[in-house]
Amino acid sequence: MDDVGTRTLMSDASRGESGADSSGRIPGAHLAVTASRDARGTPLIEVSGEIDLSNVEFLEGAIDLLTTTRLAEVEALRALAPPDRLIVDLSGLTFMGSVGLAALVTATERVGTVVLRKPSAAVRRTIELGGLTPLVRIEA
pLDDT at 100: 96
pLDDT at 41: 84
Residue 67 phi/psi, 5-degree rounding, is: -125, -10
pLDDT at 75: 54
Which residues of the chain are under the pLDDT cut of 50? Answer: 1-4, 13-26, 71
Helix (H, G, I), strand (E, B) or coil at 39: coil
pLDDT at 81: 64
Q: Which residues contact 34 (CB under 8 A, 6 or more apart)?
A: 6, 7, 8, 9, 45, 46, 62
Q: Which residues contact 76 (CB under 8 A, 6 or more apart)?
A: none
CATH architecture group of domain 7-13+26-139: 2-Layer Sandwich (3.30)
CA 36 to chain centre: 11
